[in-house]
């Protein structure tokens, strides 16, 4: 005796594609056996619970066969899995999401590092070009500012003329000068030494040719 199986109309039931492996998502026909069985179990549960109560129930193996065909054909499945299946699917989704987030963080860090490396390389190359006399320092710094890159700084050797007042106790003027020079030479800047910072003379300034690249 042959049992006729009438599949109920599911057009009004919300559908959702259950998660597939990467291979399935890329169009290949391979899938992990455990994942395939999990999907078949979810669909089989849907068929057994959604089957009309007034109709003659088909043999359980028939519903299992229908579930297998639906999964293998990639048919969208009503989104009502079993609790166990939903738990497995949720765990897989969370795992995939965490992995995607970790990859995104790694990619973002790599992009930041690449940008910083690029900026440092531009600055080093600019410094070499300035040292070689190919481009001027002012123009180079103007360009670096446009890219929000730290300007190049030239090292200078500067000579200043500073008036120093030293108070010493001596027997004569020559001894006083000798003692004062010793005070300054030893760097004893205290009550006995007074430097006049309001009258500093600029004697000379010479670029050493070194840049802070």
User: What digits encode the pLDDT tens for the residues 32-83?
Assistant: 677 888 888 877 777 776 665 545 666 767 778 888 888 888 766 655 455 5
d(CA 109, CA 113): 6
Q: Is pTM beyond 0.85 here?
A: no
User: Does 166 have pLDDT greater than 50?
Assistant: yes
CB 42 within 8 A of CB 78: no
d(CA 8, CA 51): 7
User: What digits encode the pLDDT tens for the residues 67-76?
Assistant: 888 888 876 6
């Amino acid at each position: 005796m042959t049992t006729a199986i009438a599949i109920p109309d599911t057009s009004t039931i919300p559908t959702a594609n259950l998660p597939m492996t990467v291979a399935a998502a890329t169009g290949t026909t391979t899938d992990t056996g455990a994942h395939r069985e999990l999907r078949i179990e979810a669909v089989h549960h849907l068929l057994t619970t959604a089957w009309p109560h007034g109709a003659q129930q088909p043999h359980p193996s028939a519903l299992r066969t229908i579930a297998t065909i639906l999964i293998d054909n990639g048919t969208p499945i009503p989104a009502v899995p079993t609790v166990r299946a939903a738990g497995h699917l949720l765990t897989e989704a969370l795992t995939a999401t965490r992995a995607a987030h970790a990859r995104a963080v790694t990619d973002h860090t790599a992009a930041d590092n690449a940008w910083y490396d690029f900026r440092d390389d531009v600055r080093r190359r600019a410094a070499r070009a300035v040292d070689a006399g190919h481009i001027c320092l002012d123009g180079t710094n103007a360009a670096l500012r446009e890219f929000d890159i730290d300007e190049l700084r030239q090292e200078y050797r500067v000579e200043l003329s500073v008036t120093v007042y030293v108070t010493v106790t001596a027997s004569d003027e020559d001894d006083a000068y000798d003692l004062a020079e010793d005070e300054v030479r030893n760097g004893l800047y205290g009550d006995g030494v007074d430097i006049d910072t309001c009258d500093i003379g600029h004697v000379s300034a010479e670029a050493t040719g070194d840049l802070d690249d």
